[in-house]
């Protein structure tokens, strides 16, 4: 925001994430863990706790306990994965116990993994084997009747989801026959076709480029990251007040769904995700990746604060514009104009909104592009508190 505006307006203009509107899926992003040194920190900001109480039907104490348990599970995950070694088959937070569960393809590593504080589930395939199977499927050209495919550590399979109305199409059946030859594959069905969440120019706290409105993801030093489907490199970007912010410096879509915009002309960056007046604004303190099963919230210029669960990682989403790889799937709803917006777990940035299905009235699911690959691709540094 320009220096002559209030800080609140600056946060609205520079830190709020959202989806762009377009017919198709929406892209997404991720987070880090550098805690600020200062007074003792609450388990999460009031913004996150309030949103979790609303969207999960929890009391404040239940929300605090859930966040604390998930923070512990996130810290355990790296140690458990190291202890598992080549036997690692994936991990997730158990919905009943809130503990991290680690899949193992070799019982000899079970004691070492349990010593880290994680539970153990024996599975047939390692994560390396499942990732290799998915990579082989990624090389196939998918018809529009195939919605997505992902590694599922709980079942130790790669799950290929097809649109129910298209499951009998010859192209879909041919794709599935080829996919089954790549390794341990199971087929699921969905009634929904993924779409992006870009939007035409409307009011709110967005950024604009051409006739598209999207939302800011996370501040980085020198600019902000957002969704790649919002623009190709080069075009000018304008803020909520239509004043010039900067230009798209890099953008990739499909394949990936990420972009970054430089900030200048009197605008600045701050490590905050907006609560839109529904909840207090959320500070960003890092980008540590949350496990499957973790609580996660999203901020966007259309539907504002929404929360849900992290459902899957490393999912390939087959948009009408082409496949996007390495996406994370959530139960959080989104709508047009939310594209590019922030996904955050606790105070850790997770990713930028990419696409999904449904809306925030009847429900839906959304994918995000993890944030750390965006930072690595463009050599950017997340702006943290």
Q: Which residues are catalytic?
A: 229, 257, 339
H-state helical runs in 260-363: none
Report the interhelical angle of 60-84 vs 46-56 (nearest 10°): 100
Six-digit token pair at 305? Answer: 């604060």
Backbone angles phi, psi at 273, to 5 degrees: -115, 130
Spatial separation of the C-alpha atoms in residues 9 and 11, rounded to whole Å: 5
Q: How far is CA 99 from CA 15, 96, 111, 150, 348, in A?
A: 32, 8, 16, 23, 19
- Least Cα distance to 142 among 354, 316, 358 occurs for 316
For residues 16 and 205, is the Cβ–Cβ distance under 8 A?
Answer: yes
Q: What letters, b where the CB count within 10 A reaches 16 and e where it falls short, cover 214-232? A: bbbbbbbebbbbbbbbbbe
Q: How far is CA 165 from CA 116, 141, 148, in A?
A: 45, 19, 15
Of the chain, the end-to-end C-alpha distance in Å amounts to: 18
Spatial separation of the C-alpha atoms in residues 217 and 344, rounded to whole Å: 10
Compute CA 49 distance to the chain's CA centroid, rounded to the nearest angstrom: 19
Q: Exposed (0-12), middle (13-18) or buried (19+): which is 75, by Cβ within 10 Å? A: middle
For residues 72 and 117, is the Cβ–Cβ distance under 8 A?
Answer: yes
Q: How far is CA 284 from CA 163, 181, 334, in A?
A: 37, 43, 21
């Amino acid at each position: 925001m320009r220096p002559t505006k209030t800080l609140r307006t600056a946060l609205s203009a520079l830190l709020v994430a959202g989806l762009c509107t377009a017919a198709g899926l929406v892209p997404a992003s991720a987070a880090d863990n550098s805690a600020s040194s200062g007074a003792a920190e609450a388990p999460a900001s009031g913004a996150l706790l309030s949103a979790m109480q609303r969207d999960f039907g929890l009391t404040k104490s239940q929300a605090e306990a859930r966040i604390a348990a998930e923070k512990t599970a996130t810290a355990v995950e790296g140690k458990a994965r190291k202890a598992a070694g080549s036997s690692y088959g994936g991990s997730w937070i158990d919905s009943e116990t809130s503990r991290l569960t680690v899949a193992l393809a070799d019982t000899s590593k079970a004691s070492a993994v349990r010593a880290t504080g994680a539970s153990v589930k024996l599975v047939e395939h390692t994560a390396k084997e499942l990732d290799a199977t998915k990579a082989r499927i990624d090389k196939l050209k998918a018809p529009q009747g195939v919605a997505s495919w992902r590694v599922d550590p709980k079942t130790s399979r790669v799950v290929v989801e097809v649109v129910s109305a298209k499951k009998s199409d010859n192209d879909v059946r041919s794709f599935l026959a080829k996919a089954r030859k790549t390794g341990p594959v199971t087929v699921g069905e969905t009634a929904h076709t993924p779409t992006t969440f870009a939007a035409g120019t409307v009011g709110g706290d967005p950024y604009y480029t051409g006739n598209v409105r999207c939302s800011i993801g996370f501040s980085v030093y020198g600019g902000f990251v957002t969704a790649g489907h919002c623009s190709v490199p080069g075009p000018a970007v304008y803020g909520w007040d239509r004043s010039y912010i900067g230009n798209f410096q890099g953008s990739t879509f499909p394949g990936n769904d990420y972009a970054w915009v430089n900030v200048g002309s009197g605008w600045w960056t701050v490590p905050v995700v907006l609560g839109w007046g529904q909840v207090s604004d959320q500070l960003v303190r890092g980008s540590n990746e949350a496990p499957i099963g973790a609580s996660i919230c999203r901020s966007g210029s259309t539907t504002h604060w929404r929360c849900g669960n992290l459902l899957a990682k490393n999912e390939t989403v087959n948009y009408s514009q082409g496949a996007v790889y390495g996406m994370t799937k959530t139960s959080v709803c989104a709508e047009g104009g939310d594209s590019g917006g922030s996904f955050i777990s606790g105070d850790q940035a997770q990713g930028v909104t990419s696409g999904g299905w449904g809306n925030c009235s009847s429900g839906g699911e959304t994918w995000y592009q993890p944030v750390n690959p965006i930072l690595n691709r463009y050599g950017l540094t997340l702006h943290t508190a």
